Amino acid sequence: MAERYTVDELARASGLNTSTIRLYRQRGLLPPPQMEGRVGYFDEGHVARLKLIGELQERGFSLAAIKDLVESWESGRDLKAVLGMEQVLARPMPQQTMTLRELERRLPELQQTPALLDRLRALSAIADTDDGAIAVSAGFLDTYAALRAIGVPLDVMLDEFAPVWEFAQAQARRFIHLFERYVLVNVEQVDPTALAQVIEGLRTAGIGVVAAALGIAIDDAAADAVARHLPPPVS
């Protein structure tokens, strides 16, 4: 059964005050709850909507602009489909949440060089949560473990992550350009459910293409490195 929330439970789940949620309801930013008697129940779609509102506000959108955006999505469309698209857009990448002390145990170099924390934040490898914990990218932890196992220190690893991060952003813009060119150009003819599926597929395809290309490139470069470092065969 889908998770249901009263307004107080929704406030706790979203980290907002109930007064803020009521304000969003009054401004038309949040869909009405499902009423059962005198009690209104919200669901995960409302949690996703609140997260999206917060992210848009962080990007500088006013509540009026967010309302216009929401209304353009909802115009003549099924509300559940719209909220489904928002859940795709707001879905976080796999993360592990831990305290700073736990992170220092996983990344011992942080104890000697605390400034590396700021570099990790800048590369989106970690993010501070509202409750004082730290959300760490699961992919980063896996990469760190693999590189540390062969002796690569964290500061050198981050030196290499910086151009990779720039590359990822550039490739993401290229994929989104395709999305805009072939999908959003006719967005009024596409329902939100289809958009959600396209975004999900685009994310999966993008990650797969980059991972495959990088894997082939690493194999080729490693073979070349081994050939250059091994002594020539004895004739």
Report the distance separating Cα 46 and Cα 55, nearest Å. Answer: 14
**DSSP character string of 97-135:** EE-HHHHHHHSTHHHH-TTHHHHHHHTTSEEE-TTS-EE
pLDDT in tens, 211-224: 888 888 888 888 88
Cα of 41 vs its chain's centroid, Å: 27
* Residue 81: per-residue pLDDT: 56
CA angle 194, 200, 205 (to 5 degrees): 120
pLDDT band at 2 (very low <50, low <70, confident <90, very high): low
pLDDT in tens, 122-150: 888 888 876 788 888 888 888 898 999 99
pLDDT at 97 over 80: yes
Rounded to an integer, the average pLDDT of 69-96 is 61
Cα end-to-end distance, the chain, whole Å:
72
Per domain, the residue ranges of the chain are 7-90, 94-160, 183-235
Query: What sign for the dihedral angle of Cα 57, 61, 63, 65?
Result: negative
Give the residue carrying structure tokens 């409750």.
131
pLDDT at 74 over 80: no
pLDDT band at 62 (very low <50, low <70, confident <90, very high): confident
Query: What sign for the dihedral angle of Cα 70, 76, 89, 214?
Result: negative
Please provide residue 191's backbone torsions phi and psi, each rounded to the nearest 5 degrees: -80, 160
Q: Which fold has domain 7-90?
A: Multidrug-efflux Transporter Regulator; Chain: A; Domain 2 (1.10.1660)
Q: Phi-psi category of 155—alpha, beta or left, where left has phi over 0 and alpha has psi -120 to 50?
A: alpha
